[in-house]
């Protein structure tokens, strides 16, 4: 092939490249020129058959052509790719400023009770407590007897306690009236049937555990519902004393109500399962028709507590000569009402989505579990 012919071939291929409309066209040109059976490859193959003198002249020309065409193909390919991308961007463009023509997707709310359980759990977890749960349907033994209730205690009677019909063994189970039976479960590691999920880890003294859950009493008015929530606390060790009890509760109340200093009042009281027993009031301000915790000169009863009764430790399988500890029980719904200014407890359990929309929490609104009042 003469130099002239090479020039022609070059022009021919360049025209093809210039006219290529898309990536597929270019690929085809690459195959027809540089591929195994391509026109340039055919010229390169001829070099081998030439005399050294001929090759000296033809070699650089054909190799030059190969390099030139390779570069042109690459460049055209780049251009075509950019063009294709641009066209796609134009075609697939979305106007994000357009208003939605559908109603925004409805999102659920976290119920104030769940929110408050999360807050309580976070605060006590920080103090080294673990979290356990017990069943709502409880035995009379764990709800009362093991907790040192005398057999004639009025709380056992029908008007306070929801009893279930007796089973084949004649046992009458009940809906637990408080979370205190979980104290015994925690001490004894009692695992109900196959469901052992009420205890998250094996518990041996030192025991530090909180036990939130549903509780039931036959009662209904603005501040009482037949089903309500409590969180039980239990600490058992060799030297846990009433000073620790007070510190733990004050620390909790300050964190929960987000106040730096809270005054508390420990009043003597009675529970069969603690000795001594106390009720705790927090400082509050009822002036101006509101209720502010952590300021003012009024008091509000907020929880029951005491040192675990030796009989209860014994029923929990622990030797009261070696171990001692304290327990407390707090009404969760009441804490939620106080912290978030909700007046009627009954509305908590009406399942009215409008109520929940107003008082509930958005999962993503809460920067931390302590988001609470500030969020
Ligand atoms: N169980 C008690 C109640 O329901 C509260 C409580 C718990 C008191 C633990 C003392 C210790 O009222």
Query: How much is the pLDDT for 216?
Result: 96
Structure confidence at residue 363 (pLDDT)? 79
On whether residue 374 sits in a domain, the answer given is no
Please report, for the chain, how many H helices and E strands are present, in that order: 11, 10
Q: Give the pLDDT of residue 230.
A: 97
Residues 168 and 54 in one domain: no
Whether residue 149 contacts residue 274, with contact meaning beta carbons closer than 8 Å, is answered with no
Cβ neighbour number for residue 142 with a 10 Å cutoff: 23
| Mean model confidence pLDDT for the chain | 88
Q: What percent of the chain is modeled with pLDDT above 90?
A: 62
CA 95 to chain centre: 34
The pLDDT assigned to 207 comes to 94
What pLDDT shows up at residue 282?
A: 92
How many domains, in total, are found in the chain?
Answer: 2
Residue 195 has pLDDT above 60, yes or no: no
Six-digit token string for 348? 């908590």
Answer whether residue 217 shows pLDDT above 60: yes
**207-216 vs 174-175, strand pairing mode:** unpaired
For residue 178, give its domain range: 113-359
Co-location of 157 and 215 in the same domain: yes
- Which pLDDT value is given to residue 197? 45
Instruction: Give 155 Cα–ligand 1 centroid separation in angstroms.
Output: 13
For residue 126, being part of any structural domain is answered with yes
Mean pLDDT value across residues 80-99: 88
Query: What region, left, alpha or beta, does residue 239 occupy, with left being phi > 0 and alpha being psi -120 to 50 degrees?
Result: alpha
> What distance in angstroms lies between residue 183's CA and the mean position of ligand 1's atoms?
11
Cα-to-centroid distance, 3 and ligand 1 (Å) = 106
Whether 76 and 117 share a structural domain: no
- 107-139 confidence digits (pLDDT tens): 789 999 999 999 999 999 999 999 999 999 999
Do residues 169 and 234 share a domain? yes
Q: What is the largest CA-CA distance in the chain?
A: 124
Which of 249, 273, 278 should be mutated for ligand 1, with most atoms under 8 A from CB?
A: 273
- Higher-scoring residue by pLDDT: 175, 154: 175
Instruction: Give the CATH number of the domain where residue 148 resides.
Output: 3.30.930.10
Closest among 121, 128, 130 to 370, alpha carbons compared: 121
H or E segment to which residue 249 belongs:
helix 242-257
The per-residue pLDDT for 365 is 57
Residue 97 parent element (H or E): none
Residue 345 lies in a domain: yes
Give helix 52-91 / helix 39-47 axis angle, nearest 10°: 160
- Residues in contact with ligand 1 by the CB-under-6-Å rule are 178, 180, 232, 271, 274, 304-306, 327-329
Residue 209 placed within a domain: yes
pLDDT at 157: 72
Residues 84 and 120 in one domain: no
Phi first, then psi: what are they for 304, rounded to 5°?
-115, 150
83 and 123 both lie in a single domain: no
Per residue in 250-306, pLDDT (tens digit) is: 999 999 999 988 899 999 999 999 999 999 999 988 887 778 888 889 998 999 999
Instruction: Give the tokens for residue 202.
Output: 């094996």
Give DSSP secondary structure letters for 22-72.
SHHHHHHHHHHHHSTT-HHHHHHHHHTTS-HHHHHHHHHHHHHHHHHHHHH
Q: What is the dihedral of CA 83, 88, 90, 96, to 10 degrees?
A: -140
So what's the pLDDT on residue 198? 44
Query: Do 270 and 166 share a structural domain?
Result: yes
Domain match, 119 and 196 both: yes
State whether 209 and 353 are in the same domain. yes
Q: pLDDT tens-digit profile of 317-330?
A: 899 999 999 999 99
Tell which atom from ligand 1 comes closest to the C-alpha of 305. Answer: 10
Confidence of residue 367 (pLDDT cuts 50, 70, 90): very low
Residue 174 lies in a domain: yes
Q: Residues 130, 278: one domain? A: yes
Q: What is the pLDDT of residue 328?
A: 98
* Overall pTM surpassing 0.75 (yes/no): no
User: pLDDT confidence of 167, banded at 50, 70, 90?
Assistant: confident
Rounded to whole angstroms, how far apart are CA atoms 358 and 356? 5
Q: Which helix (H) or strand (E) holds 362?
A: none
Alpha helices (H) in 99-162, listed in sequence order? 112-126, 140-143
Are 124 and 265 in the same domain?
yes
Instruction: Give 158's pLDDT tier (boundaries 50, 70, 90).
Output: low
Please tell me the total number of residues recorded for the chain in this structure.
375
* Interatomic CA distance for residues 190 and 286, integer angstroms: 44
Residue 56 lies in a domain: yes
Residues 185 and 314 in one domain: yes
- Measured by CA distance, the residue closest to atom 10 of ligand 1 is 305
């Amino acid at each position: 092939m003469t130099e002239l012919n090479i020039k022609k071939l070059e022009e021919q291929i360049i025209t093809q490249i210039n006219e290529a409309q898309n990536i597929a066209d270019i690929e085809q040109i690459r195959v027809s020129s540089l591929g195994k059976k391509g026109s340039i490859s055919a010229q390169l193959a001829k070099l081998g058959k030439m005399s050294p003198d001929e090759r000296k002249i033809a070699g650089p020309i054909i190799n030059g052509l190969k390099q030139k065409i390779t570069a042109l193909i690459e460049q055209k390919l780049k251009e075509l790719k950019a063009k294709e991308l641009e066209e796609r961007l134009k075609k697939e463009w979305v106007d994000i400023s357009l208003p939605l023509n559908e109603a925004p997707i409805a999102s659920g709310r976290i119920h104030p009770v769940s929110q408050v359980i999360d807050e309580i759990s976070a605060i006590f977890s920080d103090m080294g407590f673990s979290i356990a749960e017990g069943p709502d349907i409880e035995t009379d033994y764990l709800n009362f007897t093991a907790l040192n209730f005398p057999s004639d205690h009025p709380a056992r009677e029908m008007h306070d306690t929801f009893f279930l019909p007796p089973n084949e063994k004649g046992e009458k189970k009940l809906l637990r009236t408080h979370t205190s039976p979980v104290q015994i479960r925690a001490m004894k590691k009692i695992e109900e049937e196959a469901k052992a999920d009420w205890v998250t880890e094996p518990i041996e003294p030192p025991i530090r555990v909180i036990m939130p859950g549903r509780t039931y009493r036959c009662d209904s008015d603005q501040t009482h519902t037949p089903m309500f929530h409590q969180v039980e606390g239990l600490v058992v060790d060799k030297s846990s004393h009433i000073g620790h009890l007070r510190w733990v509760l004050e620390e909790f109340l300050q964190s929960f109500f987000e106040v730096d200093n809270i005054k508390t009042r420990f009043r003597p009281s009675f529970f069969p399962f603690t000795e001594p027993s106390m009720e705790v009031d927090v400082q509050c301000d009822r002036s101006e028709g509101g209720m502010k915790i952590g300021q003012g000169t009024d008091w509000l009863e907020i929880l029951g507590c005491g040192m675990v009764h030796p009989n209860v430790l014994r029923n929990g399988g622990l030797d009261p000569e070696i171990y001692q500890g304290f327990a407390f029980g707090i009404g969760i719904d009441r804490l939620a009402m106080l912290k978030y200014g909700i007046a009627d407890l009954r509305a908590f359990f009406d399942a009215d989505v409008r109520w929940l929309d107003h008082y509930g929490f958005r999962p993503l609104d809460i920067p931390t579990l302590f988001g609470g009042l500030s969020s």
